[in-house]
Structures are given as C-alpha cells and as structure tokens.
Structure 1
Amino acid sequence: MHATIRWIRADLRTRPGQAVLSVSVVAGVVTALILATTMLAGAMDPWKSVFARSNGAHVWIHARAGTDLSSLPDMSGVTGVSGPFQTAVATAVREGQRAPLELRAMGSALPQVGRPVVAKGRWLDPSRPDGVVLERTLARTLRAEVGDSLNVRGLDGRRHDLPVIGIADASDQGPYPSVTPGIAWTLPGVLNSVEPGTASTELLVGLKLSDPSASAFFVQHVVTVLGGDHVDRVSTWQQVRASMETDSRLLGLLMGMFGVVALIAAALAIGNATGGRILSLLQDIALLKALGFTPAQIRRMLLLEQTCLGLAGVVAGSVLGSILTASSLSQRLFGSVTGVATAPLSFGRLALIAIATLLAVVVATLLPAWRGSRVSPTSTVTAEPPSGRLSRFARVALLVRLPPALVLGARDAFTRRMRAAMTIGGLAIPMVMVTIALGCWSTLDNFENHPEQIGLAGALVAHPVGLVPYEASAVIAADQDVTAVYPEVQMDALLPGQTRTIQARALGTSKQPYPFPVREGRMYAKPGEAVAGQGLLDLLHVHVGDRVRLTIGGAPVIVHIVGRTIEPSLSGEVLSFGMDTLDQAVRTTPTPSYRIVLRQGASVDTARRRLLRESEDRLDIQAAQNPAQRLFVVRVVVFGLVIVLALICVANLLTAASVGLRDHMRDIVVLRAMGLTPRQVTTTLVSGTSVLALIAVIAGIGGGLVMSTRLIDLQGRTSGIGAGIGRAPTVLELVVAAVVALALAALMAFMLARKATSIDVREVSRF
C-alpha cells in the first residue's frame, strides 16, 4: 500500500494538468446536480413549508352571502375549521398598475387553521384599523412593501388609501398572477367600507380533514349539503400545490435533465481521460509488473487514484453548489419562480448526489483499469497504435484526393476504436442537450414574438370603470391601432360530480370567436360549443367531441367540446365558449371586460396610454400576462448549464487531443522523414481530432433535433398547456453551435500539436 500511494503521488506531481482537469469535470457535474435538485425540491418544499406553518386547510369553499355554513364543522371527517370570513372583490392600483383583489375580513387574532404566515411587518392590528396585509406574490407584483400606501377601489369605484402593514404567505391559493385574484387581508370595518353592499360579498370557509386524500369526495358532499346554487367556487390542497409547482417543475425537470446528461458526458470524459492516462503509463505499468505488482494491485492502484480525484471533485462541487444555492442571486432566481425562498438541500440529498457522482467515476474507470492491468511486463514500452488497414473514412479521403495530411489524420482518428467512440460520445451527448436547450430558447422566443400562437392575440385587457359596456366597446374600437375587440366574462364553474371548480370563460361570440390557437378539432361556431385546454381534458378524462355538464352561476350547462387550444393559464384547466352560450345559461351576465387585438407592429404601451386618454381614465387597461415573462429565469439556467456542458466538452476534447498526441508521438519522426513540413504534421494531428468532433456534432445535432420539439411538447402536454408549442432551433443557431464546437475541437488539438512539432526529434525516444 505504501508503494501504491508513493506511485500515485509521483504520477499526480508529474501530470498535474490532467489531475486538475479530472477534478474540474467532476466538480462541475456535482454543482449542476445540486442546482437541479434544489429547484426540484423548491417545486414542492415552499408549499409544504407554508402549509405546515399555517396548519393549512384541505378544502376551501366560497359560498354566496347568507348561506348557512353552521353544519360544516359537524360533518364527518372534519377536524378543524377556518372562518367563515367575509370576502369582497376589489381592485388595487399602484404606480399605474392595477390588480384584482379578494379582500378577506379577518380579526386581529390569527385562526388556528389556515392562518396566514406573516413574512414581513405585522398582522392586522386594531391600532391601525385601516391597515392591510398583502399576500407575498401580489406584493411583489405591485412592488409594494411594508409602509407603502395602496389605492383600493370597490365595485363603486370609490378610492380608499390603505397602508400596507404586513406581507404574508398563504397556503390556500397559488402565486399571483398565475392565479387571480390576489389576496389582501383586512379588518371587517375596512371591507365594509370598500364594499358596503352585502349582496356583493361572499363567505369563505376552510376545512381541515382527517383524510386529505378524500378531499374531492368531501367537496362533492359539501356541495350537496349546501346546494349547488349556494357554492360559487371550491378548491383543494391538491389544486393549490399543483399551481405552485407548475413553473418550478418545468425549470426543475430541465435542470435535472441537464444534470443527468452532464453526468453521462462526464463519465465518458473521465473514462477517456483514464484510458489515455493508462495508455501513457503502459511503460510504468509494465515496469511495476516486472517489479512484482499483480494485476489486481494495478487495478486497485488505478481505481484508487481516479477515485481520489473524483472525491476531490465531489467535495469541491458540493462546496460550490452549496454556496451558489445559498447566495442571494440564486434565491432571487428561484424565488422568481417559486414565490418564496428555496431552502438549502438536506444532508441526505447532498450525500446522494455525491455518492451517485463518485459511483459514475468508479464505473468509468473500471474498463480502462482492467485493460491496464493486462499489460504484460515484457510488452513493448512504447505506446504505438495497433497496425491495421485504412479506415473507410480514410479510404474515402483518398478517393476524393484530399491532401495527404488530412488522409493520415482521418486514418489516425479511428486507430483506437474505443477511444474514438468515447470521444464521439463525450461530445455528441452534450450537443444533443445543447440542441434541446436551443429548442427551449426558440420556444420562449416564439412565446414573446408570436403571443397569438399561445392564446394571447389580445395584447391588452380593458375593464370598464364608469363606462357602460357599449360605450367602452365603442371607445376601444375607435382607436387607430385596434383591429378587433372581444368581450370577455370569466366565471367559476363546478365540474361534473361537483368536486371542484374550473374557470369558464366566455370570450367573443360564436359568430365572431376569439382567435384561439386550435391544435385539435375546430373553433366553436354556435351556442353550446366550447374549446378546452389540455389540462381540462385530462382532468375530466374526456376528448374533443365529448359533451360535458357544468354548473355555472348555479345553473346547469351542457357544452360540446369541439376543439383543444393552447392554454398557458391555470395549468390548462380552462373552458372557453362564446358570450351567446353564457347568455343562454345564466340569467344575469356580469359586466364584461374586453380583449383588445392590436394591428401588427403597434406599440402596446403607446396604445394603452392613448386608450386611457381617450376614455378619460374610465377604462382599466393592462397588458396581457405572457408566460414567457415569468419564465425568463429559464434562459439564465439554460445558459449556465450550457456553459457547464461546454466545459465538459472542452475537457473531453483536451483529453482526446492529448491522448492522440502521445499515441502518435513517434509518428512525428516518421512524418518528418517522409518530407511533411511542421504545418502538415500539425494538420495531420488536428484533423484526427476534428474528424471525431465533426461526427459527434452531426450526430448530436441530429439527435437533438429529433428529441427537442417532442420533449417540449411532452412537457406542454403534461403541464396542461398542450402539445404544439415546441419550436426547433433556427438554422443560424445550429450553425453557430456547430461552428463553436468544431472550433473548440480544432483549437484544443492545434495547441497541443504546435507544442508537439516544436519538440526535438531526439526527445521523442523518451516516450
């Protein structure tokens, strides 16, 4: 053992560059896996943490004012009750930005079940009777902090300036604006001041169950007891958890996929580096065996050396990953998606990542170590490549009369097939992931540049404030940049079985429907027809062509689903139909808002300001929420992980070029004797590595193109948005990626080849 350790120390001192390279590759992979796992944990942990601290309720029921809720606490399976609390609809205005609110009247004492978790400031206090506490994601959207003043307006449009005294997390609703309206807690007196009409308020009650998995059945029972016409909206803890997971899950899965690919690529790079190192140590290994080392001792020695390097990389990557996840920058990035700060990984998860990476290092070392242990003590001490026929690639190069230097390089590229395969695989696998990443980038660009393809043809949403509907519609349609105006009413609808509610949206009319992007079936064309998002189809287990019975505004409605649309909001759990369908279903249609479609190239901000001026501020006009705006962090993550993959590729290319150079060091003498100039010798060595890189780039980009749109559409389908959103990278992006990869390969080989051609011929005998 003492001799083994001495040999390892001597080898590391002799080749420090290769050791640092191996450690850096492993450290980069561990860092990427820690970031990926942190985001995956962040998709669930924020909700779990808030739910546990708030002693959250499993079911929340919005009932109409005057509904008798006294029987709910005595129902079987109920272990706790929160409320009932009076709620009212309002609008918050701050710095020109408006947000729909649900005011909740609560006392100064927090309830035992479903209590908000105060994050900043304080809870409601009778000493500040006009104070308001905002839900965290709503406050972040409005850029409101403790001490700011919030302009709140009720249905009558009167202004109430309320001071923000606290910011809190809630476990009963997803993040704003993905889920609307935002939540604001007030004392009962403030709510009565903002909305004095009792008929315009609702009652909210939360129920904690002994069996959380039975929430859907329990909701059905509650609706039966209270009466479907008395229940406006219900939600369960599963819905809230899913709404908080949507964006985080997308980012987490993307990072996880990158991490796994990086681990595979790193294993190939490590295997290639180990194989190259063992190839360069054949003379030393033969000498060690001549001194009495057994094959088993040689294998243990090589495994021990690479395992120590891998362990050093794991430690360095764990430290770096922990620092990055705990930094303020990462907290802001993760918080922009999850809504709350992401907790550091537990020791168990860190240990699992470390063990998995270390096992990958060991597995990647097994084959080269086994082959090294079979070296005969009487074998040649030179590392000459095996003799053989010209490869097919080299024969093709001869047929097309390429220069001799390129022909020799093409021949040398495949002399050692195992090394060539590992080099190609080590570069092709990251190129597959880079192509997929570029596909994600192109998809986000398409979201931003062509919002009409994801249901956002209406760039502006207008809510009348002091204008009757026909006046509001006339003012909007008269604007020079407006090409179409579509009335819109959003209502909650009880699903069949009355176990939960979804959003029912009347938009446009059957004769003039809103231009939804229909990916399956057709647009609704007459009353009673509707289109649905993928999430709703999956929730109801129905398909295009089926009929569904819903309860809207207390009235039963049967709709015929004739199409599937791309629906980025509410996980695709949205049903859309014409205003005439809603008019036939309910007695009184709420005041509509308006989706405004602008002409091509029109400025959204300019049109908004002009409409506000033309309406004399009697229209509340906001830009439509584009999901690409909240997924900007995906670009940052994709860029960072592409850098990690690029570093792994560079490590693999350096290893391949270094091994190829040492493998053909003696050939340099022969090539010079044949009359090749130093430039031609350099070309020969560079072309060998470049040929392998070219094959890897072509294979990687081809595989990435096959997988890119399929994976994105699969994610779109499973997230409820729907298939049909995936976009392939542009030709320019692919060309740039290919050129960069080939340039890196040529540069790595060129640097080493230039160094080799400057070596004195007499020194070659040492190798």
Structure 2
Amino acid sequence: MRFPRAWLGLEFRRRRRSLAALVVLVAFSLATVLAAVAGSRRGESALDRLRAGTLPADAQVLIQDPGFDWDEVRAIPGVLGVAPFVAAAMYIEGVHLGWDSVPPVDPSVWRDVERPVLLAGRLPDPARADEMAVSARFVERYGKGVGDSVVIRLATPQEADLDLRADVANTGNTQIRANGPRVTARIVGVIRSPWFADRVGETSGSATGEGFAIPSPGLFLKYQDNFLGTRRSKFTNALVRLKDGEGGLAEFRSRLAAATGRPEIRVDNLADGLRHNQRLVRYEAIALLAFGLSALVAAALVIGQFAARLVAVSLAELRVLGPAGLTPRQAVVAAALGPSAAALLGAVLGVIGAALASRWTPIGVAANFEPRPGLDLDWPVLLAGLVAVPVVVAAGAGGYAWLTVTAKPAGTSSRSAVAAAVGRMGWPVPVLVGLRLALERGHGRTALPVRSALIGSTAGIAGVMAALTFSAGVSDAASNPARYGQTHDLLVFLGVNGQSGPAERVLAALARDPDVAGVEDRRFFSAASGDLTFPVYDYTAVGTPPPIELKIGRLPASDQEIMLAVDTAGKLRDTGVLKDDVGERIHLTGARGGRGFTVSGIGFVPEGPSNTYSEGVLVTPAGYDSLFASFEIRMGFVSFRPGADVTAATARLRQTVGALPGGDHIGLLSSFKPKQLAEVQGVRALPVALGAFLALLALASAGYTSVTAVRRRRHDIAVLRALGMTPAQTRWSVATQAGALAVIGLAFGVPTGLALGRVLWQAVAENTPLFYVPPVPTWALLLIGPVTLLAMNLLAARPAATAARLSLAHALRTE
C-alpha cells in the first residue's frame, strides 16, 4: 500500500487545482441534490406536522344572524370547541389588513380551537385589549415583531352601522376613515396553525403577501359597540372543532339544523381547504424531487467526465512504470485514488452545505405551514449522500481505469445508415466525417457515447420546451381572471342581511357610463342539498350582463333549472346526490323550504366574500325567490369595455354613486381575485428550473461527446489530415457533429416537449380548476432552434480548435 499512498501524495502536489475543482464540483452538486430531496420530504410533511397538536378546526359555520347564540352550537354532542369571530372592520395604521384579520369574540380561540405553534413570543392575554399576535409574513412585510407596537383604529358605533365593505372599498384599507378609539397594541407572539397560516393569493381586500394580525379577544370584549354598531347589525361566524373530525361533519350539520330549525345554515368543510393545500404542497414536493433527480443526473455526467479525465491522465503517466513491475491492478488503484479522495472531501462539504440550506426550506406554499422553521437535519438523506457519493465515484473511477488498461484494439463497428446515404450523395467530406462522429459509436478505444448524447440532447430540448410550454399556460392563467370565470371588473356592494340602498338607481346609473360594457344584479344566500351547504346566486341583467363562463351545458332558462359550480358538482357526485351531471334533478333546501331543480350546466360563479369561484350554484331570479325571501349579500357586477381606463372609470363611477341619495352606503371595489391566480404562479418556478437542469444535462452530454470524439478519434482525424483535409475542414467536421446532435434533438424534442407541457398544464388546469386553453409558447418555438444550434456550436468550438491543431506525427505514432 506504500506505492498508492506515495502516488496519492504526488497527485495532491501536482494536480491540486484539478482535484480542488473536483471537490468543489462534488460539494456543490451533492448539496444541491440533497437539499432538494430533503426539502421535498420536509415540504410534503409540513401540513401534517402542523396539524398534529394544534387542535385544528373541522368546520366553519357562516350565519349572518346578529342575534345568533353560539351556545346552541357548543351544546351539540360531538362539538369540542367553538371559536366565534366578528365580521367587522378593524384598521391598523400603516398596515393593509386582509379579510382574515378579524377580532375573535371570546377566549375559546387558541385554547379550544386552532391552538397555534409559537414561532416567537407567546399568545395574547385574552383579558387584555392591547395585545395581539401576527403571522410570519406580517413580520417580514412590515418589520414589526414581538415587542413592537401598532396602533389599532376602531370605528365609532355609528360608523360601524355602515357596511364595512363599502368603507374598505371606497377608501382603501390604509386610508382610514374610522374616528373611534385608538388602541396602542403590543405584538406578543408570532403564530401559525392550519387556519392561522399565511395564504397564497388572497381575494381583493386581503392583499396577497401582507400577512395577518389578530388582536386578543379582550379587544372585542372591551369595544363591542365599536364592532357591532348601534343597531347590533354585525354578525359573527365561528370555527368549530369536532370529536370525530371530518367524519362527524354530516351528523353535526344534521344536529345543527335540528337545533336551530335552519337547514340552510352554511357549514364549510375545512378539510377541503386542507386537501387543496396538500395538493399544492405535494405538487411542489414532486417537482422539487424531480429537480433534485435531474440535478443528480447532470452532476453524475459532469463529475464522471471530470473524474474520467483525471484517471486517464494518471494512467498515461503510470503506463511508463509497467516495465518496472507495476501491475494493472496497482495502476487502477493508484489512478482512482485521487478522484476518490476528492469525492470523499466533497461529500463531507456537500452534506454540510445541504444541512445549512435546510434553513431556507421548505419552499413555496409548504413554507406557510412549516411548524419549526430553521435548521432541519434529515439524517437518512444526508447520511445516504455522505456514503453513496464517495463509493460511487471510487467505483466509477476504478471501473473506468480497469476498462482502459484492459481495452482491446478496436475492431469493426457498425456504420450509420444516414452517414452512408450522405456519402453516396457526394456531400462534402467534413459533413460526412461530422455525421459519423455524431452517429457511429465505434469500438474499443474509439468508442463514443453516441446514444447517451442523442438521448441527452433530445431530453434536454424536450425538457426546456415542456417547461416553456407549461410556463406559457401559467402566464395566461395568472393574468386572465376569465380563465376562472371572472369576467367582471368591479363589484358593487348593495346590501347585507336583507337591507340594501338604492340598488336599482345605482345599477342603472352605472350602466349608463360609456366605459361600462355590462352590469348585473345578484343576490346571495346559502342553501343545502344532502349533507352539503353552499351559496346560491341569482342573476338579473341591467342592460348587457357580463358573460358567464360554463364548462358544459347552458345557463338556467327557467325557475326549474340550476347551474352548478365545478367543485360543488364534484362534491355532490362524491356524496351520491348527483350522478349524471347535466339533465339530472337535485333537491335544494332554502329558508322557504325545499324543491327540485334540473341541472342545466356546470361552470363557474363569481368569487365572493365567503365563497370561491368554483363553489355554489346559479339560478334565475324566480328560482331564487322560490327558495329565499331575503338575501345575505346583494352585489352588482360591472364589466368595462376593452381598452377602458379602469382606474379612471372606477373613480368616475364612485363619484356617480356617491352623488345619489343613499350612495354613501354603497361600496365599489375591484373584483375579488381567486387565490388560484397567485397559486398557479407558484407552480411555474420548479418546472422551469427542472427544464434548465435538463438543458444543462443536454449541454454537458453534447460537450462531453465533442471532446471525447476528438480525443478518441484523433488517429482517424490524423489520417484524414494526412490525406489532405484542411484545418478548416476539420473544424467543420466537429461543428457538423454538434449540429447533427442539435437537429436530431430538435426534431424529436420540440414536439415531445410541446405535447408534454400541454399535458402537464391540462392536468393543473383540471385540478385547479380553470378553463384549459392549449398554451402556445410562440417565442420559444421561434427561438429554440437558433439558440440550440448556437449553443451546440459554441460547445464544439474548443474541441474543433483542438482537432484543427492536431499534431499528425504524434497522433499517428502513438496510435
């Protein structure tokens, strides 16, 4: 063993730069791969780990009844906790609060329901009015954390009588009109639970990325009049935790209806939202794992080439020691020692790097649900990388060295039919030579990785094309609310709980504006069908209505028909209420009783303050009146003509409404944007990164092929040079090889990638849900060919120059 150790010491002294480069390459590659795999595992489990021990709510009860007594719900068997919160405005100076920043009504929150993990500090004292908890994103956005103070502005009781949505809509949430008490509150904790978690893509008025701030229940207890108003017209909703979890939801709905005599009370299954979030988290985890695996393949190719080059150089020097008694086995061991030692050191550094990188995982949506942010050591993944990489590199280096020292002289290899056809057609010699370099594998010492190069270039181009096609679909969906059925631009809050302002005069005045293309009047109330409750909208056109988007079927044409939203139709199918979609009759129960409807279509409804665009039903005004005598919310929907200045038109419409009698109680605001608009943007990054790594894989494979072809076929090139081929023709031969790989990769990779990108985007569109439109990445289709040819030829430039400068005498003599 003294000779291998002596040779290793000699290698460290002579090739320290090359070995150091290999150490860095292994460390960076391994850190990337391990961080991706560990981050994938951590992200996929984040929501489950957060749910454990936080007493998550199972249902949200939405009842717009100011006088409702929540003790009736607490008395229902199987209810473990009820946490009411008031649907009333609260302002913080200099902060944009969302719809999820509402005051809890009593101390049951954070005690019986949604007991959060503390990322910092403690929970607010429920008896104090001057303490509050915030989310991690709030801290990042506003720079205020534990120990800092904020100023809460409350409305006067008279101001609280106004519709809070009108106030928010007309002034913006940072332009506070509230003239009630100013409360200086101290932030005492940063919290996180399944409900109290930062969300991706909130609706209008809830400002994506702002975070939330929740005051102590003591604020409401001390200032009830400032939240409920002089008429006590404001209402409370509640989070409910059940003994049997989601499994007890059907029985809870039944007992709630029996206890209150109101079967139409809306009860949302919060597990649906958790499943939606888990699908997003799982998608990110799969994409991150795919990224890690593609990085592994690319790293294996690059590191393998680097290590093989070091082994080849060492073997060339060790060959002269053969006559002195060095055996082939000793030569193999000595040649593999340098790369193996570098891989071991690189693996140690890579594991340390991956461990440090865990501070920034999980990423995306999963980061909102991570209960223990910070350093996280995934020992199974880290130890696997620490052991596997040195072993694989050592085995690969030793195997390559053994194959090299035992290789037999080259025999006859198969010829390429394409190259043969080109030869018969009399094409120039550089083209023929280049095609043979690209398509003929060779044999023995002249063998080339032709198949892997062709597969690599095709896979890389297909990956890039798929990523760009997918990205084109994301860009379209992220900027086009109509893909979610949201064809209106402006919401007009006309009334709540059966009370409204001058709705008809307001909508008629809006319809007369020259920039307005359509106006529609809609009422909203909750109904039940089977074990499900959901919102019911009607629609009355004022002039030309905004278009309504359907996936199948048509709009209701009479009071006997109904249109189902996509997710509601799915839930009705899951519960057995609906079987055949369009044409089937279902039974709905409203405040006036129950009756049957025929399903005329399935599509999307407006995104509302308490519903998403994919849940609810749409009926005619006559159908609505047969179910309800009043409304929970009444809204107008306004669409602008194409090319209109939306900001100027909105300001003008607000002035128009404000000039009408009672118009100061009417609120105008931009349409609610589905949170999926932001969510689909989040799914773009990882496929694009995966495409980039596949492109790196293709480039590495093509570059390795060009370098190896010149090195292993130098005897053939020397013979051709001796027969009269010029240096310029030699360069063209190598360039032709690169061009052939590019053309073949484009021919198979572009259509494959386009089809794959569309399939992936269609799966996302169906799962979201949204209207699927086949994405067309126009610029990618135009540029991928020229860019690929340019990149391949740039990679081939150095090997081409090496081939052109080849020493004929040396090459022929050594062969």
Fold conserved between structures, TM > 0.5:
yes
Give the deviation of 1:530 after TM superposition. 0.4
Deviations 1:453-480 (A, max 9, x none): 3312212223248842212212321222
The aligned counterpart of 2:490 is 460
The aligned counterpart of 1:544 is 581
Give the deviation of 1:519 after TM superposition. 3.0
Cα pair distance change 1:322/1:668, threshold 3 Å: same
Cα pair distance change 1:82/1:389, threshold 3 Å: closer
1:426–1:649 CA contact under 8 A, matched in 2: yes
1:533–1:564 CA contact under 8 A, matched in 2: yes
How far apart in 1 are the matches of 2:746 and 2:606? 34
- Structure 2 SS opposite 1:229: coil
Specify which of 475, 485, 495 is matched with residue 445 of structure 1: 475
- Are residue 171 (structure 1) and residue 194 (structure 2) matched? yes
1:438–1:733 CA contact under 8 A, matched in 2: yes
Deviations 1:400-451 (A, max 9, x none): 5432101111012122277111112223223332222112211122124543
1:530–1:559 CA contact under 8 A, matched in 2: no
Give the deviation of 1:283 after TM superposition. 6.4
Give the deviation of 1:96 after TM superposition. 11
The aligned counterpart of 1:56 is 56
The aligned counterpart of 2:616 is 575
The aligned counterpart of 1:156 is 162
The aligned counterpart of 1:352 is 381
The aligned counterpart of 2:463 is 433
Question: Structure 2: which amino acid aligns with 1:753?
Answer: A
Question: Structure 2: which amino acid aligns with 1:469?
Answer: A
The aligned counterpart of 2:439 is 414
Give the deviation of 1:111 after TM superposition. 5.0
How far apart in 2 are the matches of 1:123 and 1:355? 40
Deviations 1:713-762 (A, max 9, x none): 22333x3415x525334242133234333322211111222134234334
- Structure 1 SS opposite 2:373: coil
The aligned counterpart of 2:429 is 404
Deviations 1:347-377 (A, max 9, x none): 23x6427737976997799799767645675
How far apart in 1 are the matches of 2:641 and 2:683? 30
Give the deviation of 1:120 after TM superposition. 7.6
Give the deviation of 1:699 after TM superposition. 2.2
How far apart in 2 are the matches of 1:682 and 1:260? 35
Worse overlay, 183-192 or 678-687: 183-192
Give the deviation of 1:662 after TM superposition. 0.9
1:307–1:358 CA contact under 8 A, matched in 2: no
The aligned counterpart of 1:515 is 547
Cα pair distance change 1:412/1:677, threshold 3 Å: same
How far apart in 1 are the matches of 2:16 and 2:4? 17
Count of matched residue pairs:
750
The aligned counterpart of 1:193 is 226
Deviations 1:191-248 (A, max 9, x none): 4432244565246352342x43623344345435535616623244523423544544
How far apart in 2 are the matches of 1:553 and 1:595? 25
Worse overlay, 359-368 or 180-189: 359-368
Structure 1: segments with no counterpart, 5+ residues: none
The aligned counterpart of 1:650 is 699
| TM-score, scaled to structure 1 | 0.81
- Structure 2 SS opposite 1:485: strand
The aligned counterpart of 1:704 is 753
| TM-score, scaled to structure 2 | 0.77
The aligned counterpart of 1:675 is 724
Give the deviation of 1:574 after TM superposition. 1.0
Give the deviation of 1:680 after TM superposition. 0.9
Cα pair distance change 1:531/1:220, threshold 3 Å: closer
Question: Structure 1: which amino acid aligns with 2:381?
Answer: L
CA RMSD for the aligned pairs?
4.7
1:229–1:554 CA contact under 8 A, matched in 2: no
How far apart in 2 are the matches of 1:315 and 1:256? 22
How far apart in 2 are the matches of 1:686 and 1:630? 44
Give the deviation of 1:706 after TM superposition. 1.9
How far apart in 1 are the matches of 2:307 and 2:777? 37
Question: Structure 2: which amino acid aligns with 1:463?
Answer: F
The aligned counterpart of 2:46 is 45
- Structure 2 SS opposite 1:592: strand
How far apart in 2 are the matches of 1:126 and 1:266? 55
Give the deviation of 1:108 after TM superposition. 6.5
Give the deviation of 1:154 after TM superposition. 3.9
The aligned counterpart of 1:472 is 506
1:513–1:578 CA contact under 8 A, matched in 2: no
Question: Structure 1: which amino acid aligns with 2:433?
Answer: L
Give the deviation of 1:160 after TM superposition. 5.4
2:11–2:338 CA contact under 8 A, matched in 1: no
Specify which of 611, 614, 631 is matched with residue 656 of structure 2: 614
Structure 2: segments with no counterpart, 5+ residues: 165-177, 207-211, 443-447, 659-663
| Aligned positions of 1:65-464 closer than 5 A | 70=71, 77=78, 80-83=80-83, 85=84, 87-90=86-89, 100=99, 103-107=102-106, 112-115=111-114, 117=116, 129=129, 147-150=150-153, 154=160, 156-157=162-163, 159=178, 163=183, 165=185, 166=187, 168-172=191-195, 178=202, 185=215, 186-196=219-229, 197-198=231-232, 200-202=234-236, 204=238, 206-209=240-243, 211-212=244-245, 214-223=247-256, 225-227=258-260, 229=262, 232-245=265-278, 247-267=280-300, 315-324=348-357, 326=359, 334=364, 338=368, 343-344=373-374, 346-348=376-378, 351-352=380-381, 355=384, 373=402, 377=406, 379-380=408-409, 386-388=411-413, 390-416=415-441, 419-464=449-494
Give the deviation of 1:682 after TM superposition. 1.1
Question: Structure 2: which amino acid aligns with 1:687?
Answer: T
- Are residue 739 (structure 1) and residue 740 (structure 2) matched? no
How far apart in 1 are the matches of 2:225 and 2:290? 52
Deviations 1:562-586 (A, max 9, x none): 3343689778751331352323321
